């Protein structure tokens, strides 16, 4: 009887397949308006210092994609001890990104309060390495995305940097100070929500795409 039930369950699962975002809770890329793009580019241009150490040749980190990087973060004040060294994952530019960042069980989910790191990764190609200096205005960032800010540094403010799972566990926090981030982009893909009945509530998988293309004539602060 148990064997028969298992066979039925497996057959049912093979018929499920992938449910694209529109069919599974509205997880789809947001439309990047010209006004929003200009606001993001202004933040990136004014509040970040970006140096490409190595140009990658893979897919670009872009709005509406799952972006994965290996990062090392330390304070720009001269303390050479890393605050964090490990994976950083962002779903920036997806409808429902607050839910995704707070509830998806992946080690290294990058807090939406770290807009400087998220914007600094944008435009990198997989395989590339980048050094990003983040103004304190974009650390522990509470404003709406693209909203101008002049909060400045305030070391008394502490917020989430990344959330860890599995054997590491816990949350890594950071003070509202200027940060230096050494980043290597390891993956950029289109996230697709998969729903598997009876076993998982759901999880994100990746679909490869080489769009958008890198524009070598564009400034480093361009938003893709």
- What is the percentage of the chain residues whose pLDDT exceeds 90? 53
What per-residue confidence (pLDDT) applies to 147?
54
**Range name among 45-54, 122-131, 153-162 with the lowest pLDDT average:** 153-162
| Adjacent-strand bridge partners of 158 | 175
Phi, psi dihedrals of residue 67, rounded to the nearest 5°: -115, 130
Distance CA 41, CA 39 (A): 5
Q: Is the pLDDT of residue 144 over 70?
A: no
**In the predicted model, what is the mean pLDDT of the chain?**
81
Report which of residues 24 and 174 the model is more confident about. Answer: 174
Top pLDDT among 199 and 106 is at 106
pLDDT at 56 over 70: yes
User: What structural domains and CATH numbers belong to the chain?
Assistant: 17-207 (3.10.50.40)
Residues whose CB falls within 8 Å of the CB of residue 185, separated by 6 or more in sequence, listed in order: 56, 58, 61, 67, 68, 69, 121, 124, 125, 126, 127, 128, 129, 130
What is the Cα–Cα distance from 217 to 219, expressed in whole angstroms?
7
Sign of CA dihedral 87, 50, 146, 179: positive
Give, rounded to a whole angstrom, the gap between the first and last alpha carbons of the chain: 54
3-state secondary structure the chain: CHHHHHHHHHHHHHCCCCCCHHHCCCCCECCCCHHHHHHHHHHHHHHEEEEEEECCCCCECCCCCEEEEEEEEEECCCCCCCCEEEEEEECCCECCHHHHHHHCCCCCEECCCCHHHHHHHCCCECCCEEEEEECHHHCCCCCCCCCCCCCCCEEEEEEEEEECCCCCCCEEEEEECCEEEEEEEEEEEEEEEECCCCCCCCEEEEECCCCCCCCCCCCCCCCC
The 10s digit of each residue's pLDDT in 146-196 is 554 557 789 899 999 999 876 556 899 999 999 999 999 999 998 877 665
Question: Which residues does 15 contact at the CB level (< 8 Å), separation at least 6?
Answer: none
């Amino acid at each position: 009887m148990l064997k028969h039930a298992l066979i039925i369950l497996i057959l049912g699962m093979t018929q499920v397949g992938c449910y694209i975002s529109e069919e599974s809770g509205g997880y789809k890329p947001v439309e990047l308006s010209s006004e929003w793009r200009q606001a993001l580019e202004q933040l990136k241009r004014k509040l970040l210092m970006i140096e490409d150490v190595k140009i990658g040749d893979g897919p670009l980190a872009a709005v509406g994609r799952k972006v994965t990087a290996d990062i090392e973060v330390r304070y720009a004040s001269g303390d050479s001890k890393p605050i964090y060294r490990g994976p950083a994952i962002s779903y920036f530019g997806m409808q429902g990104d607050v839910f995704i960042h707070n509830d998806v069980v992946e080690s290294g989910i990058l807090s939406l309060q770290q807009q400087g790191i998220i914007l600094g990764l944008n435009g990198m190609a997989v395989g590339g390495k980048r050094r990003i200096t983040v103004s304190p205005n974009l650390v522990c960032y509470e404003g709406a995305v693209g909203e101008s800010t002049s909060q400045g540094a305030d070391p008394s403010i502490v917020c989430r940097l990344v959330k860890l799972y599995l054997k590491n566990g816990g949350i890594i926090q950071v003070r509202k100070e200027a940060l230096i981030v050494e980043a290597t982009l390891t993956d950029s893909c289109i996230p697709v929500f998969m729903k598997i009945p009876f076993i998982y509530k759901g999880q994100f998988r990746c679909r490869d795409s080489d769009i958008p293309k890198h524009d070598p004539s564009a400034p480093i602060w361009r938003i893709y």
